[in-house]
Amino acid sequence: MASPKQFTRVAIVGAGPAGFFTADHLTYGDGGQIVVDLIERLPTPLGLLRYGVAPDHPNIKAAGATFEEILDRPDVNLLCNVDVGNDVTVEEIRANYDAVVYATGASSDRRLGIPGEDLPGSISATSFVKWYNGHPEGDRFDALEAESVAIIGAGNVALDVARILLKSADDFAITDVPHRVLEVLRGNKVRDVHVFGRRGPQYAKFTTKELRELGELDGVDVVLDPRHLEGIDPDGHTPAVKRNLKVLAGWAERELTGAGRRLHLHFDTRPVEVMGQGAMSGLRVEESIGGETRQWDLDAQMMLRSVGYRALPFPGVPFDEETATIPSEASRVVRSGAPSMGEYVVGWVKRGPTGILGTNRADAEDAVESLKADIAGGMYDAGGLKPGVAQLLRDRGISCVDRSSWTAIAAHEALHGETHGRGNVKVDTWDELLDAAGVRSNSPVSQGP
Ligand SMILES: Cc1cc2nc3c(=O)[nH]c(=O)nc-3n(C[C@H](O)[C@H](O)[C@H](O)COP(=O)(O)OP(=O)(O)OC[C@H]3O[C@@H](n4cnc5c(N)ncnc54)[C@H](O)[C@@H]3O)c2cc1C
């Protein structure tokens, strides 16, 4: 067996939680033997921790501080504002590193495939989440005029968007939501939010903590028809499902208080058609309850579909369209039916959009175990330390947001918040992020001819 060489250079594509956990496991206590470049398409790191996790969940967001510490390690380099597959190809990455770990997440959404889905007013939760979290790309909502909103999906993202719509805007003044988002939330006209789950409550993917939170909102009544719970034996289910059923049973018995906003929960109900002329005005649904199936129409001016995130393929990397993941074995990317040398995958792009933040830690451990086994097996022993792509990007006129530029963005956001009498406040345009970083835009170069 060849002896392992002294240094191994690893590119991690995607600086979201899975990328950070991988960088952590690769470099923690290894005595500087492994050098990691975290390469990220956006001008900022943290992936869905910054642009997915709800702004009113500061305890989860606090994981960012741990990730910042990883960036302080001398053998971890940050290269944001670099789109792999566009600014630099996968082949170039593979040639300039011993190994590459794909951690590109799942940023696209799934569709319902029902008539009227493309009417104005019908939007993906993905795009709504990006907006309130200040993502520099995607739709902007200048007003929330809908009084009745339908949310399709029975998972935590559906609960997040319901909570954002139902809570008082004042609750967000202490978060980092962009100031223009806060202004729109202040004018939010919503009175009724209807969440629809296709199957029974025992199959909902809510976590109990997030579910319970919705029942504790000031000025909000929860409306749930007890027939949705009939015939379900809690003892036949996992402890997590039992806990959810208990919360729901409590809500089904609650007296309405006449609160100004209402959350309606519907199970065993699927959307059939988005209705409207020129814009959405209602939603036809099919409900199976008490052994009876019937269709009914809901007045609703906005629908958020929250039926799952989906990864997108990128050039040069195998992709399974059916599962929307990069195929792998023990986290090694599979090309033409066999593990490919020097390619690994972690996070949502490996296992699909499931689990909580910590699930990506276990995932990263698995990938690093395989990678370190390959190093120990002498797979990467040719030559000295590989160059990485920083110089290649400079030669190409691509500007990176590195560790110090990211610190400059964070300082700018703190200052920006101060001018509004708030704490940190996100800036939500690509140009302002790059200005704050002191970096110029890549667009004329990276978009090519
Ligand atoms: C709305 C929402 C709310 C959530 N709330 C919670 C919560 O409260 N608690 C919790 O535990 N979990 C929560 N999660 C789950 C958590 O965010 C995910 O588990 C986690 O972000 C997945 O990590 P990832 O690194 O695989 O993907 P991501 O976080 O998506 O990171 C992938 C990164 O790769 C980058 N990238 C993609 N393509 C390229 C490319 N070609 N070149 C370079 N970079 C690229 C992306 O820009 C992104 O930054 C939530 C998820 C969502 C969607």
pTM of the model as a whole: 0.95
The Å distance, Cα 48 to ligand 1 centre, comes to 3
| pLDDT surpasses 70 at 4 | no
Phi, psi for residue 383 in degrees, rounded to 5: 75, -175
Per-residue pLDDT band at 6 (split at 50, 70, 90): low
Summarised one tens digit per residue, pLDDT across range 10-58 is: 999 999 999 999 999 999 987 778 999 999 999 999 999 999 999 999 9
Summarised one tens digit per residue, pLDDT across range 69-126 is: 999 999 999 999 999 999 999 999 999 999 999 999 998 999 999 999 999 999 999 9
pLDDT for res 39: 98
Summarised one tens digit per residue, pLDDT across range 321-378 is: 999 999 999 999 999 999 999 999 999 999 999 989 999 999 999 999 999 999 988 8
Q: Which residues line ligand 1 (CB under 6 A)?
A: 13-19, 39-42, 47-49, 52-53, 57, 60, 83-85, 103-105, 107, 129, 157, 160, 309, 314, 347-348, 355-357, 360
The Å distance, Cα 298 to ligand 1 centre, comes to 33
- Write the CA distances from 246 to 229, 263, 336, 396, integer angstroms: 10, 18, 48, 59
pLDDT for res 382: 63
Q: What is the mean pLDDT of residues 197-219?
A: 96
Phi, psi for residue 57 in degrees, rounded to 5: -115, 65
pLDDT for res 335: 96
Q: What is the mean pLDDT of residues 122-142?
A: 95
53's CB contacts (< 8 A; 6+ apart) are 60, 61, 133, 357
pLDDT for res 2: 44
| pLDDT surpasses 90 at 315 | no
| CATH code 3.40.50.920 for 110-308 | no
Query: Is 51:369 a contact under the CB 8 Å cutoff?
Result: no
Distance CA 347, CA 19 (A): 8
| CATH code 3.40.50.720 for 8-107+311-437 | yes
| Partners of residue 29 on adjacent β-strands | none
Structure token pair of residue 254: 């609650």
The Å distance, Cα 82 to ligand 1 centre, comes to 17
| Domain spans of the chain, in order of start | 8-107+311-437, 110-308
